[in-house]
């Protein structure tokens, strides 16, 4: 946690330094222009009887500042992108840590379970032993059903959301029919997209008065990996469906600081030639992400500079 906070402070300080340096340059240019306006001299006298027109100097400085301004804006945009990447990686890392903690707890409890089962058999309490085994199997099954892809960060995300769904009393189901082996999109960026869709599904189904259910389905076809997040919820108007992926659009009751999740998902997927769509037949809503597979035959490249 301390390392994360230090990185965030460093990036924040770099952004402040960049903006401060450019502000100083702007103030210097304004000062020189004001001096030129209120000065009687339009030439700068140098040694060897050389004279330079001050207007030309100001024009040259303004040109340099215009170029520098472009570079500063570019640096600020890149800095913002880096901060987003670090945020996504931190979130994925947190999910992996939680999954690792769950696995360690399960391993720690394993010996205790074996001892209890052994004792029940010794006492010939076979019915109680069978009930105990059923409960253990159910618990282990809930954890193992989320660990089926080759992407540890995705597995960790699915398990973290399973724990959250249990806490919120949401019926949570996961169906995995693809290991996502050749996924071009970085794990941490897919985690950000899938996490946003699941969070939106949780919020929508919690507002629903009837059965609260969220399901995740991961599959693939010849061309794409397909990740679908479905939930039960209130009806969504046609006008809202048409603009669902625009910045600031939301179906949440509290619209403060909302309306960016689906826009972020769409923006990230477009970097990898992917897309997201919505299907709504009340009370069921499904958001479908399609991420293209690498085209081996044509050696097509998918924004490899986005990977770390």
Q: Is residue 271 part of a domain?
A: yes
Is residue 163 situated within a structural domain? no
Q: What is the mean pLDDT of residues 5-12?
A: 58
CA–CA dist 305, 241 (Å, integer) = 33
Check if the beta carbon of residue 175 is closer than 8 Å to that of residue 215.
yes
224-232 and 284-292 strand pairing? antiparallel
Could you give the CA distance from residue 7 to residue 2 in angstroms, rounded to a whole number? 9
Token output for 40:
């009687």
Domain boundary among 64, 87, 110: 87
Compute the average pLDDT of residues 167-184: 92
Q: Does residue 296 share a domain with residue 177? A: yes
- Cross-strand pairs, 277: 288
Question: What local confidence, expressed as pLDDT, does residue 131 receive?
Answer: 84
Least-confidence region, from 57-61, 71-75, 100-104, 238-242: 100-104
Band (pLDDT 50/70/90 cuts) for residue 139 is: low
pLDDT, position 224: 94
Whole-angstrom Cα distance, residue 269 to residue 266? 5
pLDDT score of 5 = 56
Please say whether the beta carbons of 236 and 251 come within 8 A.
yes
**Looking at the structure, do residues 180 and 292 belong to the same domain, yes or no?**
yes
What's the pLDDT at 176?
92
pLDDT at 33: 72
Identify whether residues 173 and 81 lie together within a single domain: no
Q: Contact 180/293 with Cβ under 8 angstroms? A: no
Distant-in-sequence, close-in-space partners of 108: CB < 8 Å, separation ≥ 6: none
- Same domain flag for 175 and 48: no
Q: Which of 87, 115, 137 is the last residue of a domain?
A: 87
CATH code, domain carrying 204: 3.30.565.10
Q: Tell whether 301 is covered by a domain.
A: yes
Would you say residue 201 lies in a domain?
A: yes
- pLDDT, tens digit, for every residue of 245-269? 887 666 565 544 455 689 889 999 9
Last-in-domain residue among 87, 102, 128: 87
Q: What is the average per-residue pLDDT within 176-188? A: 90
Q: Is residue 263 part of a domain?
A: yes
Q: What is the arithmetic mean of pLDDT over 144-161?
A: 82
What's the domain range around 62? 2-87
Please state the pTM of the whole predicted model: 0.62
Q: Is residue 95 part of a domain?
A: no
Q: How far apart are CA 278 and CA 82, in angstroms?
A: 29
Q: 183 with 298, same domain?
A: yes
- Average pLDDT (235-243) is 85
> Do 298 and 179 fall into the same domain?
yes
Work out the pLDDT band at 231, boundaries 50, 70, 90.
very high
- Cβ pair 150, 179 in contact under 8 A: yes
Give Rg (Cα) of the chain: 29
- State the average pLDDT over residues 34-52: 59
| 164 within domain boundaries | no
Band of residue 108 on the pLDDT scale cut at 50, 70, 90:
low
Coil, strand or helix at 157: helix
Rounded CA-CA distance 180/182 in Å is 6
**Do 178 and 80 belong together in one domain?**
no
Residue 129 covered by a domain: no
Strand duo 213-220 + 171-176: pairing: parallel
Asked if 153 and 100 touch (Cβ cutoff 8 Å), the reply is no
Query: How many domains does the chain fold into?
Result: 2
By percentage, how much of the chain surpasses pLDDT 70? 71
pLDDT score recorded for residue 172: 93
Domain co-membership, 55 together with 181: no
Asked if 81 and 174 sit in the same domain, the reply is no
Pick the most confident of 26-40, 105-119, 195-209. Answer: 195-209
CB-based burial, 246-273: b 16+ in 10 Å, e otherwise: eeebbbeeeeeeebebbbbbbebbeebb
Q: Are the C-beta atoms of 220 and 120 separated by less than 8 Å?
A: no
Q: What is the mean predicted confidence (pLDDT) over 158-164?
A: 87
Residue 198 Ramachandran class (φ > 0 left, ψ -120 to 50 alpha, else beta)? alpha
Tokens representing 187 are: 């794990």
Q: How does residue 208 score in pLDDT terms, banded at 50, 70 and 90? A: very high
Answer yes or no: do 73 and 183 share one domain. Answer: no
């Amino acid at each position: 946690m301390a390392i994360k906070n230090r990185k965030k402070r460093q990036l924040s300080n770099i952004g402040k330094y960049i903006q401060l340096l450019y502000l100083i340059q702007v103030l210097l240019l304004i000062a020189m222009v004001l001096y030129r306006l209120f000065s009687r001299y339009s030439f700068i006298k140098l040694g060897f009887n050389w004279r330079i027109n001050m207007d030309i100097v100001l024009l040259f400085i303004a040109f340099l500042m215009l170029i520098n301004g472009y570079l500063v804006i570019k640096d600020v945009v890149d800095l913002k992108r880096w901060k987003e990447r670090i945020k996504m990686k931190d979130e994925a890392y947190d999910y992996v840590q939680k999954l690792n903690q769950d696995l360690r707890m399960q391993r720690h409890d394993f010996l205790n379970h074996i001892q209890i089962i052994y004792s029940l058999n010794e006492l010939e309490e076979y019915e109680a032993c069978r009930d105990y085994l059923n409960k253990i199997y159910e618990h282990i099954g809930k954890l193992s059903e989320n660990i089926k892809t080759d992407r540890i960060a995705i597995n960790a995300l699915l398990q973290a959301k399973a724990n959250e769904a249990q806490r919120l009393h949401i019926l949570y189901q996961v169906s995995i029919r693809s290991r996502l082996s050749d996924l071009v999109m970085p794990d941490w960026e897919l985690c950000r997209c899938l996490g946003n869709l699941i969070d939106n599904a949780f919020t929508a189904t919690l507002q629903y008065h009837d059965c609260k259910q969220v399901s995740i389905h991961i599959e693939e076809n010849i061309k794409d990996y397909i990740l679908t997040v479905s939930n039960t919820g209130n009806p969504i108007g046609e006008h809202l469906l048409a603009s669902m992926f625009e910045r600031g659009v939301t179906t949440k009751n509290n619209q403060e600081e909302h309306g960016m999740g689906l826009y972020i998902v769409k923006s990230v997927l477009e970097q990898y030639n992917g897309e997201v769509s919505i299907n709504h037949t009340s009370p069921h809503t499904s958001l479908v992400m399609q991420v293209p597979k690498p085209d081996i035959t044509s050696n097509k490249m998918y924004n490899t500079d986005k990977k770390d």
